[in-house]
Structure 1
């Protein structure tokens, strides 16, 4: 660092060095069953992964959405876990941070199930939820 007088001011020549960014935790994690199902669904398809999002609807206010991600948008987050790729829609990121996605098969249904710490309520049938987005501390 050098200082050079300039009237009553001091001029500083600071150089900064770039520090490596610490890795960010994944937005979501997948159980073994969910990863296997995602791999099964996306195999032999020209897609980037399984797209996961949130939409308004249902009696509790919001629903999880699924589709095939043919492209990755500039605000999307790509999560690869256990060999499976999930693309999280940009507008859903704050709602899904810290979630675990599982895949369960029962006598009546086979479906993806979310264990979401941001979920505050769910309807009786389990098709819709209320989620509060994560707030910055």
Structure 2
């Protein structure tokens, strides 16, 4: 029997960036908190922050020793997604490749399901 629990993953690029930013903040135990909230031009928007605590309704995911934390409601919407870190001519940012999104905004932080 395979585990069908909702999950997300961090690319190695995202994991390295989170680890580097946590060290810059002086707390290598910080985790990347990913949230989904209503709003944005497409209906939902992604949020990224750092957190050192895990709430009762949170799930954690780990890549290369770096942890991401996400609440159960956001995880339902992001199930199967990969968090990546992109550096290009437009700047550097975390991006989510969400297989559940039916549309997204040009900014990359707003989406519809």
* TM superposition score normalised by structure 1: 0.72
Please show how residues 15-26 of structure 1 align to structure 2 within 5 Å: none
Unmatched segments (≥5 aa) in structure 2: none
**Residues in 2 aligned to 1:124 and 1:80: alpha-carbon distance in whole angstroms:** 28
Judged with a 3 Å threshold, the aligned counterparts in structure 2 of structure 1 residues 33 and 39 are, in CA distance, closer, same or farther, namely: same
Confirm or deny that 1:58 pairs with 2:46: no
Confirm or deny that 1:29 pairs with 2:22: no
Match of 2:61 among 63, 79, 82: 79
CA-CA distance at 1:22 after TM superposition: 6.3
**Residues in 2 aligned to 1:87 and 1:99: alpha-carbon distance in whole angstroms:** 13
RMSD: 2.1
- Residue in 2 aligned with 1:4? none
Confirm or deny that 1:122 pairs with 2:107: no
Aligned residues of 2:95 and 2:109 also touching (Cα < 8 A):
no
Unmatched segments (≥5 aa) in structure 1: 1-20, 132-137
Match of 2:93 among 111, 127, 137: 111
**Residues in 1 aligned to 2:90 and 2:2: alpha-carbon distance in whole angstroms:** 44
Q: Which has the higher helix share?
A: 2
Judged with a 3 Å threshold, the aligned counterparts in structure 2 of structure 1 residues 23 and 93 are, in CA distance, closer, same or farther, namely: same
* TM superposition score normalised by structure 2: 0.86
Which protein shows a greater Rg? 1
